[in-house]
Amino acid sequence: MADAETERDAVLDALDNVAARLADEKSYLTDLDSAIGDADHGANMQRGFGKAAEKRDEFEELDPNEVVQNVGKTLISNVGGAAGPLYGGSIMFASQELEDGITADTSVAFAETYLDKVKDRGGAEVGSKTMVDALVPAVHTYKKSIEQDDLPPLSALAKAVDAAERGVAFTVPLKALKGRASFLDWRSVGHQDPGATSTLFILEALLATAETYLDGAVERDAHAADAARRDE
Amino acid sequence: MKKLINEPSAVVDEMLDGMVAAHPELRRLDGTSVLVRDDAPVDGKVAVVSGGGSGHEPTHAGYLGEGMLDGAAAGEVFTSPTADQIDEMIQATDAGEGVLCVVKNYEGDVMNFDTAAEMASMEGVEVEQVVVNDDVSVEDSLYTSGRRGVAGTIFVHKCAGAKAAAGGDLGEVTAVAEKVIDNVRTMGMALTSCVTPDKGEPTFDLGEDEIELGIGIHGEPGTERADIMSADEITEHLTENVLSDLELDEGEEVVTMVNGMGGTPLSELYIVNRKLQSILDDHGVETWDAWVGDYMTSLDMMGCSVSVLRVDDELKTLLGAPAETPALTVSE
């Protein structure tokens, strides 16, 4: 990306943006989770990222990868339940990929390692009606856009967010196979997965941050957006 | 439902403080719900740690001490401790010889221990993990994929702890723990549901004349509801399920455990043990040692579980080795 200082600022801004977005969406996520879970996803995510954002001052002293690692640690201790290890543990583990800075290549490695860790830890695959349904299309699209289509990172990220959005819409008609929603069996069909949804919100906040740091224009796919857009 | 508590949200915190006050040989890590042996890390020894939700007392911290556990992480009632606290426990007990985490098979526990092991590994601690899954009554439950980990876990604590105290290295201590897990089976039943401090009412409804078979330790419903039976009939049901899964040969030796779920008097547990031993006798199986008591409870639930562990010379030596903990003492 650039020098370590700019990278750190970008990571800190991304953290602020994610925290703000999840705070905005808290009650929406809670509503989704009360339909098929235990109604705590909105509050848990808001609390976890909120705590991390409060540490901005102490993070100012760290390298970008260390900031990411510490965000993960903060989520582990503050999100609770299974979401703590799934989001926080995976972010913490994947932060190793950013030791040499944030570039197109290391960001692909980060995304892939994060995805692998989430799948490994939670045991979910595509179609289990979990965050994996948003993550897999996003990560695959990002990797291909960077490595094969030679797109600039900003355009690749925009495509990844579109892909995640389609993935979120894909969770609605599925029967949950993992997590608490799976105990509802067929009653989970027809509901949008809260974990996939919060994953999308995180990616959208990362895209908004990237727009201020990277060159290029963002083109979103209107159809993908429509597919997951809730009734406002 | 009446409870001897101050605030539901303070139950774990106040319990841990009270426990340390009763047992000065234990120490609480600042700002956590982790208890460790006061002399941790113990020089030259592999550390054996465990943890999980509260509500199972004396599990887990009751087994802290010489010959058993070095650290125990307490979550909220029936809720996994968080990975950062488990990580602190691992780091506080590691003497440079490595740490074995004994985890019961519940999704939350396994995920948090996995994450903690990763965190500690990043700091250079050598960590191994075993997952106990001794409950024969279910393959999948409300809280887990595969079999649940229940009272047989105490045998794992005892044997792995003894192996570590005897100077075993991390690989050897882990191997002993795996051996116990391979050879122990458990099944439980309830006469009543338990009452969690938060909810204040039974977590499942059970009629006056009904019992629940195949229960876990979190107030989750069992596999089968039945009309009340005599102690002998209940013991037979539990024991036959355990034995058919363990596939013992005639002449093999076992250690048994009749474990109270928290609300059942010792007198009734002895009645269960009496029948258990006569069934084993009928099968031509020899009991080397019989444990009876509240080892892993489910708050105030009335009921019990029956565990059978197949033993060989190695496990007998480890089970008979000295241990000094708040809940279990074995003298030389």
Q: How far apart are CA A97 and CA A89, in angstroms?
A: 14
Domains of chain A with CATH codes:
4-228 (1.25.40.340)
The ranges assigned to domains in chain B are 8-183, 184-326
Interface of B with A in 63-92 (CB under 8 A): 79-80, 82-85
User: Above 50 in pLDDT, residue A231?
Assistant: no
Contacts for B261 with CB less than 8 Å, ≥ 6 apart: B188, B190, B194, B215, B217, B294, B297, B298, B301, B302, B303, B304, B305
pLDDT score, position B285: 97
For residue B82, give the nearest of A84, A86, A123 by CB distance: A84
For residue B84, give the nearest of A77, A81, A121 by CB distance: A77
pLDDT, tens digit, for every residue of B34-73? 999 999 999 999 999 999 999 999 999 999 999 999 999 9
**Amino acid sitting at position A130:** T
Whether this prediction's pTM lies above 0.95 is answered by no
For residue A76, give the nearest of B79, B82, B107 by CB distance: B82
Q: How far apart are CA A217 and CA A211, in angstroms?
A: 8
- Overall average pLDDT of the A54-74 stretch: 96
For residue B82, give the nearest of A80, A86, A93 by CB distance: A80
The structure tokens listed for A100 are 């040499």
Q: Is the dihedral of CA B196, B200, B205, B207 positive or negative?
A: positive
The structure tokens listed for B317 are 């030596």
Q: How far apart are CA B151 and CA B135, in angstroms?
A: 8
**Amino acid sitting at position A135:** L
Of B35, B81, B28, B32, the closest CA to residue B54 belongs to: B81
Say yes or no: A85 contacts chain B, CB-CB below 8 A: yes
Place of tokens 């692909």: A108
Strands B253-260 and B303-311: antiparallel
pLDDT-based confidence at residue A232 (cuts at 50, 70, 90): very low
User: Above 70 in pLDDT, residue A227?
Assistant: no
Cβ proximity of A42 and A27 under 8 Å: yes
Task: Tell me which residues of B are annotated as active site.
Answer: 56, 218
Beta carbons of B115 and A85 less than 8 Å apart: yes
pLDDT, tens digit, for every residue of A137-150? 999 999 999 999 99
Beta carbons of A89 and B142 less than 8 Å apart: no
Q: How far apart are CA B32 and CA B51, in angstroms?
A: 13
pLDDT-based confidence at residue A109 (cuts at 50, 70, 90): very high
- Chain B residue at shortest CA distance from A88: B115
Angstrom distances, CA of residue B275 to CA of B230, B254, B279, B291, B302: 11, 15, 6, 14, 19
Indicate if ipTM > 0.85.
Answer: no
Domain B184-326 sits in CATH 3.40.50.620 = no
pLDDT-based confidence at residue B79 (cuts at 50, 70, 90): confident
Q: Residues of B with CB below 8 A from A92's CB?
A: 115, 118-119
Say yes or no: A84 contacts chain B, CB-CB below 8 A: yes
**Amino acid sitting at position B260:** G
- Overall average pLDDT of the A111-129 stretch: 95
Q: What is the CATH number of domain B8-183?
A: 3.40.50.10440
Interface of B with A in 124-183 (CB under 8 A): 142, 145
Tell me the shortest Cα–Cα distance from B114 to chain A, in angstroms. Answer: 8
Q: Residues of A with CB below 8 A from B118's CB?
A: 89, 92-93
